Amino acid sequence: MFASPLFQDNRKLGVDVVIYSTTKHIDGQGRCLGGVICGTREFIRKTVEPYLKHTGAAMSPFNAWVMLKGLETLHLRVNAQADTALAIAQGLEGETGVARVLYPHLDSHPQAMLARTQMQKGGTVIAIELEGGRDAAFRFLNALEIITISNNLGDAKSIITHPATTTHQRLPEDQKQHLGITSGLVRLSVGLEDVNDLLRDLKHALGAAHAAN
C-alpha cells in the first residue's frame, strides 16, 4: 500500500518495530539509498545497534542529510501525490482496455473498508491491469510521454514499471498468478505533475495499446 509515515500510524495498530525504505517517499527524488528502523529505545540499543556495529550497515552522513531535507517537504509532497493517485484511479476505472484498477481507497477494492480504517489516504501507488497481456502492457508503456519507465517508486516524478518482467521476474509463474502479477499488470507511482496532464498521458497510451488489437 505504501502508506508512508504520513497515512498510517503503525504504533496504533500494535506494531513493535517499523522499517521504512527512506529511498522512497522520504527522499522523494530518487537520489539516495537508505532505510530507518523505528522501535523502543531498548530494542534499538540492545538489538539494532550491535547488529549495525558488526555489519557496518550505516547510512552515510550525506545520505542522512538528504533524507532529513526530504522530511521537510514530505507532508506537502505525499499528500498531493495521494490526492492525484485517487483521482487517476477513479478516472481510469471503466476505460477501454483496462481490466481492473487496484488502489486501496477505491470503492471497488476488496479491502477498501480496511484500508480506510487504517490509512488516512490511499497512498501514491496504483496497479493497472490491461487487457491484452504483455503486448498491450508494453505498447501502453512505450506510448507514455510524461510518465517515466523505471522500477523505483515514491518519487516526485511519475514512474511506471511492468512487475512481471522486472521487480518480480524471478518468481515462478504460479506464484505470480497467486499474487495477481499478470503479464498485463503495470505499477504506477504517481508524482507531482498536474493530474489532468497525467490522465491525458495515460488515456492516450491506453488508446495506443488498444488500437493495435
Residue 162 near residue 156 (C-beta atoms within 8 A): no
Residue 170 backbone dihedrals phi, psi, to 5 degrees: -85, -10
6-10, 162-166, 202-206: which range is least confident on average? 6-10
User: Which three cell numbers mark 204?
Assistant: 492516450
Strands 125-130 and 148-149: unpaired
Can you point out the beta strands (E) in 24-176?
A: 35-38, 98-102, 125-130, 148-149, 159-161
What ranges do the domains of the chain cover?
4-68, 74-211
Cβ proximity of 204 and 90 under 8 Å: no
Summarize pLDDT for 174-199 with one digit per residue, the tens: 999 899 999 999 999 999 999 999 99
Rounded Cα–Cα distance for residues 182 and 129 (Å): 8
Task: Give per-residue pLDDT as tens, 85-94.
Answer: 999 999 999 8
**Does the pLDDT value for residue 3 go beyond 90?**
no
What percentage of the chain has pLDDT greater than the value 90?
84
- Is 201's pLDDT higher than 70? yes
CATH pick for 74-211 out of 3.90.1150.10, 1.20.210.10, 3.40.1670.10, 3.40.50.10440 = 3.90.1150.10
Mean pLDDT across 20-46? 93
Percent of the chain's residues with pLDDT above 70: 99
- Per-residue pLDDT, averaged over 40-64, amounts to 92
How far apart (Å, rounded) are the C-alpha atoms in residues 154 and 186?
15
